[in-house]
Structure 1
Amino acid sequence: MRTLVNLTSKILCAALLIVTGQSCSSDFLNEVPLSNYSTEGVLTSEIGFEAYMTAMHKAARDEMAARDASRYFYIMSASTDIASFGNNSASSNNYNTLLTPTSTVTKYVWDWAYESMFPIANTIIAYASKPELADIWSSEEKKNAMIAEAKFFRAYTHNMLANLYGGVPIIDTIYVSPKTDFVRNTREEVLQSARADLEYASKWLPATVKKQGRIVKAAADHLLTEVYISLGEYQLAVESANKVINSGLYKLMDERFGTKMNEPGDPFSDMFKDGNQNRDAGNLESIYVWQFEDMTLGGQGGSNGNNRLRNWGPWYERLTDPAGKSGMIVVDSMGRGTGQVRPTPYFLYNVWKGNWDNDMRNSVHNMRREFRYTNPKSAYFGQLVEPRKTEIDTMQNVYPYPRKIEGDIGTLTNTSTSWSGRTYQDFIVYRLAETYLLRAEAYFRLNDLENAAKDINVVRERARAKPIQASDVTEDYILDERARELITEEPRRRTLVRMGRLVDRVRKYSIRELTRTSIQDFHQWWPIPQTAIDSNVGAKLEQTVGY
């Protein structure tokens, strides 16, 4: 075969020599690709790095949007103090079967971090730092800002893992060949890595951006405040929060604004209406926002949109009326929930005692506590749904819920009679109210109860809630205020783990007896996925104690 090829080549060369009068060369056999989407091909210009950063943001949003079920993103709220699983499955409500080395819960976050977030972030950092690419940048500040944004995401991911698994392998480089000898770093080492990345990010990220959703300096300072608290650096936490609060760029929204300002509502509810989450809509409280777009390529995420309403909202369309006939149909105003995450009585009732009627966050604009039959064919159409007693009704089909989950139904969602329950509402990850509560926590841990109370009262004043005294400030009170302000926004499980309060508060507040009695002290931390341990053949990746 080689002889035939060589002979054919000689004949072609001779023919070309006769026609062109030129000597023969094999250069024409070399492939010259018209496009190159390899890392080396893309990361050769600022535009290429921007494309990679788009992938970085998509991966970050996939914390929520890649999968859709209570055992993925919503495990951050389910089986905690503020919410339980709506379904009565023993495998979900029993901590001994919920958290295992082979469960989808523990594997999903691990894979998201190590297969998506770290590889993309580290690739951007490594290539942007290459001396041979120094000439592609319009300025040193532009290059450093790109590195800073990637370092923010790397720190975000390390911090998340530290508040779920404890100690994990730190990934701060890219690998050109398979690596199978990872070992667990300590939790403090993981947090120190996040700290270093965030301190760099705080220095180089821009204060404001034109493109909504991009990371700004305040996002790094906000997260750095939390990391400092976890490391016991409380004064540094106060100083980091000060950079956000005193920047002059942010304020708590205390006046009506945005797309629905002329409809019934209040400043708190306005923040969560469609189109109101970003700064360009007038929301000067938001710091970091995941972006969703209906009917836009890549705008929906892996699960076709923001699935918060689908998971937190009750499955009301299954309700029958008192005559035993269908009493409910899906309506735009409530979307279509599936009752996966059900708020506990602790959140629905306990935290509002003493402020039930005056706290804005408990108003009819922010909490839906009454339902009316929506099926026009029912004899009870338009009448209030009466109290229910069966477990399936009270745990999944009809229960009070925070209305910040509600959003307009998108075109892709509203394409059949069985709506998916997804919206295209942007999702606020960080906002200024939480920065105040983080600083209050730092003051509390410094035993400065006066300043802790002042920060909590800033948040409560906007909500028209009664102010508290310094003597009222406790760790439990801070957790109560976070629940009132941040439910469905904060990853509650990670907050409780960070404070060392998951186990005792689940035992006290979970609505399900099986959850209260099955949780053990070692469930504070997640197990390492068995797949990660089995594939790490070059070293022993230690399993979390208790599993």
Structure 2
Amino acid sequence: MKTIINIKYKFWVVFLCVAMLELVSCSEYLEEDPYTSLTEEEVYGNEENLKLLISGLYTQWRNTRQDRSALYMVLGSDEGKQGGQQVQENNTQAALDKYNGAMNPFNSTLAGEWNKRWPVISAAAKAVHYSPSDELKAEASFIRASINFELAMLWGPIPIIDLEDMKESRQPLSDVFQFIINDLEFASEHLPLTQDDKRIPTKGAAQALLGKVYMYAPEETGLRDYQKAVDYFDMMIPNYALIPNYKDLFDTRLDQNTSEVIYAFQFNNMSPDNNMIQHHAGSRAVADMDSNTYFGGYDLALPTQYYYETIWEGQDGDTRREVSIRYDFTLPDGREPQITWTGQSDELEPHIKKFEDIRTQGEQNFWYSGGLVYYLRLADILLCKAECLNELGRTGEAINLVNNTVRARAYGGTLPASQAWPSGTSQAEFGSAILDERMRELGFEGWRRMDLIRTGHFVEYVKERNPWAKESGTIQDFHKWYPIPESEIKQNDNINEEDQNPGY
């Protein structure tokens, strides 16, 4: 597998050797063999070397949630869409919403996201194989499993990169998901309950992700198991707690590594560790007036009307609405922005608010936004558990769980009787309601596309609720998976044209 193993692996060997050379003195270097001549076993089998490698992996994995990459997978859903100017400027990127002919194996936007992930998987596989300690192996296993899970959900069957049993062609999803489960089971067994370094996952993170994998695994794999999901959720839930105020989750002036966070990508408002997401989530009309207003940006990803309006109907008092979505674009000095540069009315339509970093106000360009990017947090897991309980026929328990935790917090800690989900809610009604509740709670946090795929609503909801997809009218069932990039097919001897996802 040339791109995944040979070319991309060499990058990480060079990275490790250069990093190690920077850490030793000249005298130490002269007294030892050159590090560039180390064997693979010496590079990966030494604990300090491996710690250095895995530290780099955390940064590379985190950077798949940085800049435009943080928002690409949100596009083309019933939750997020591109701004009008973005659609006009970039036909390749526009295809992520339009599902037209430009969504094809030559789509460079999607190829870029595919290519960002495989070097991390390849190096993690080396770390898993050669690790001298179970804890380091567990860290690498967690990273590999997390990225494999994302790739399998969004691209379908993928290779299995395991040095003990390499399978470099696309493998059945049943095998891929079992491999992911195996990695996470090892991680959950060997990771500690807490970590001083917040970049490093804990036992709870592995257990939470295991539960999600059992819940999200395609039914055809035979691995979807709602009871196992609940069991893993129950192992980790007692170790976390919802914070009282939803708004504090996204206030960058506070310590965001709270009791609710299971795993988050660590960013700050200093380059190169800024996440840059506000640059793409904010309003161009604001940016045209003042580049140091913290909610400016360039309209790459906006909430759909379904997200910013429809799901909030009848939800009076839900504090999450004003925290999640910006409706008012009045600048801090009282000026009112006007649509000037592009003529696109959506520049002043509601925008996502979660990625704003008020620390930049009047000090830095909004490009320096740098709040945490959540991967796993307790509210998500509680909603996942409730959904699993409903699928198991325990709808009453599911209703109580949602009412007493996530919805109660949304209403300031005490859920008004008028906003409580009624005890007589049917299983089908709950299944529909929980998807809207997940959007209210988790909008733009990266789970919506997967939620639509796993529940079988992907085409139905996107066609109806995403304005660009609705206008184009070309979305089909096969679009639930992205195309395998043509560059991968050309460079990888084990993936051929006939291995492409159907429809492309």
Q: Which letter does structure 2 place at the counterpart of 1:309? A: Q
Tell me, yes or no, if structure 1 residue 83 matches structure 2 residue 80: yes
Partner of 1:243: 235
Q: Residue 380 of structure 2 aligns with which residue?
A: 434
Say whether 1:352 aligns with 2:355: no
Q: Distance in 1 between matches of 2:471 and 2:108?
A: 18
Please tell me whether the aligned partners of residues 76 and 491 of structure 1 are also in contact (alpha carbons under 8 angstroms). no
**CA distance in structure 2 between the aligned counterparts of 1:164 and 1:367, rounded to whole angstroms:** 26
In structure 1, the partner of 2:285 is 316
Note the C-alpha offset of 1:117: 1.7
> What's the CA shift for 1:506?
0.4
Change (3 A) 1:294 1:47: farther
Q: Distance in 1 between matches of 2:255 and 2:327?
A: 24
Q: In the alignment, is the contact (CA less than 8 A) between 2:489 and 2:495 conserved in 1?
A: no
C-alpha contact (below 8 Å) 1:152/1:201 kept by paired residues:
yes
Give, in whole Å, the separation in 2 of the partners of 1:102 and 1:499.
29
What does residue 454 of structure 2 align with?
498
Which residue does 2:124 correspond to in 1? Answer: 121
SS at match of 1:206: coil
Write the distance in 1 (CA, Å) between the matches of 2:283 and 2:164: 44
| 1:150-203 CA distance string (max 9 Å, x none) | 11111111111111111111112289xxx9x83221122211111111111111
1:382 equivalenced with 2:334 (yes/no): yes
Query: Could you tell me how far apart the structure 1 residues matched to 2:55 and 2:147 are?
Result: 17
Equivalent position SS for 2:368: coil
Taking structure 1 as reference, are residues 294 and 519 closer, same or farther at Cα in structure 2, changes over 3 Å only?
same
- Per-residue displacement from partner, 1:240-273 (whole Å, max 9, x unpaired)? 1111212xx210111xxxxxxxxxxxx1111111
The more displaced of 424-433 and 105-114 is 105-114
Q: In the alignment, is the contact (CA less than 8 A) between 2:469 and 2:475 conserved in 1?
A: no
Q: CA 1:244 to 1:333, structure 2 compared with 1: closer, same or farther past 3 Å? A: same
Q: Aligned partners of 1:391, 1:293: CA distance in 2, in Å?
A: 31
> Where does residue 195 of structure 1 map in the other structure?
181
Per-residue CA deviation, residues 62-88 of structure 1 (Å, 9 max, x unaligned), is 2122xx33xx43121112101111133
Partners of 1:516 and 1:243 in 2: how far apart?
Answer: 45
3-state DSSP class of the match of 1:163? helix
Helix, strand or coil at the partner of 1:451: helix
1:383, CA displacement in angstroms?
Answer: 5.4
Question: Which residue in the other structure is 1:521 paired with?
Answer: 477
Structure 2 counterpart SS, 1:208: coil
TM-score (normalised: structure 1): 0.76
1:462 to 389, 409, 418: 409
Post-superposition offset of 1:58: 1.0
Closer/same/farther in 2, CA of residues 373 and 461 from structure 1, 3 Å limit: closer
* 3-state secondary structure, aligned to 1:493: helix
Contact kept? 1:165, 1:528, Cα under 8 Å: yes
Specify the SS of the correspondent of 1:164: helix
Report what 1:261 is aligned to. none
2:71 aligned partner, one-letter code: Y
User: Given that residues 507 and 516 in structure 1 are in contact (C-alpha distance below 8 angstroms), is that contact kept between their aligned partners in structure 2?
Assistant: no
Q: Name whichever of 504-513 and 419-428 sits farther off.
A: 419-428
Say which of 192, 202, 205 aligns to 1:206: 192
Tell me if structure 2 keeps the 8 A contact 1:290–1:429. yes
**Distance between the aligned counterparts of 1:196 and 1:144, measured in 2?**
14
String of CA shifts for 1:203-225, please: whole Å, max 9, x gaps.
Answer: 11111011122100111111111
Tell whether the 8 Å contact from 2:279 to 2:367 is kept in structure 1 after alignment: yes
Structure number with larger C-alpha Rg: 1
Q: Which amino acid aligns with 2:140?
A: A
User: Quick check: 1:285–1:431 contact (8 Å CA) kept in 2?
Assistant: yes
Q: SS state of the match for residue 81, structure 2? A: strand
Match of 1:329 in 2: 290
Q: Secondary structure at the match of 1:271?
A: helix
Show the counterpart of 1:372: 330
CA distance in 2, matches of 1:75, 1:504: 20
Aligned-pair CA distance for 1:505: 0.7
Paired letter, 1:469: P
Deviation, 1:482, is 0.9
User: Match of 2:334, as an amino acid?
Assistant: G
CA displacement, residues 399-457 of structure 1 (integer Å, 9 cap, x when unaligned)? 2234221114569x967xxx362312222211000000111121122122112212222
Report the CA distance between 1:55 and its aligned residue. 1.0
SS at match of 2:264: strand
**Structure 2 CA distance, aligned partners of 1:368 and 1:539?**
44
TM-score by length of 2: 0.82
Question: CA separation in 1, counterparts of 2:79 and 2:70?
Answer: 15
Residues 437-452 of structure 1 correspond to what in structure 2 (within 5 A)?
A: 437-452=383-398
Q: Distance in 2 between matches of 1:539 and 1:402?
A: 39
Q: Does 2:47 match 1:46?
A: yes
Pair 1:289 & 2:279 matched: no
Alpha-carbon contact 2:399-2:421 (below 8 Å) kept:
yes
Unaligned runs of 5+ residues in structure 2 are 1-29, 218-222
Instruction: Report how many aligned residue pairs link the two structures.
Output: 450
Q: Partner letter of residue 360 of structure 1?
A: T
Matched residue SS, 2:101: helix
Structure 2 partner of 1:103: 107
> Would the aligned equivalents of 1:167 and 1:185 in 2 still touch at CA under 8 Å?
yes
Q: In 2 relative to 1, CA 104–205 (structure 1 residues): closer, same or farther, beyond 3 Å?
A: same
C-alpha distance 120-37 of structure 1, shift in aligned 2 (>3 A): farther
For 1:284, the aligned partner's letter is S
CA pair 120-390 structure 1, distance change in 2 beyond 3 A? closer
1-structure distance, mates of 2:299, 2:305? 16
Give 1:350 deviation, angstroms. Answer: 0.7
Change (3 A) 1:172 1:372: same
Q: Does 1:425 align with 2:371?
A: yes
Structure 1, gaps ≥5 residues long = 1-29, 134-142, 255-266, 320-327, 375-380
Q: More helix by proportion, 1 or 2?
A: 2
CA distance in 1, matches of 2:255, 2:240: 13
- Note closer, same or farther for the CA distance 1:277–1:187 as it changes in structure 2 (3 Å cut): farther
Match of 2:148, SS state, is: helix
Deviation at 1:61, TM superposition (A): 0.4
- Paired with 1:163 and 1:101, the residues of 2 have a C-alpha distance of 17
| Percent of aligned pairs sharing the same letter | 27
| Alpha-carbon distance in structure 1 between the residues aligned to 2:260 and 2:401 | 15
Match of 2:433 in 1: 477
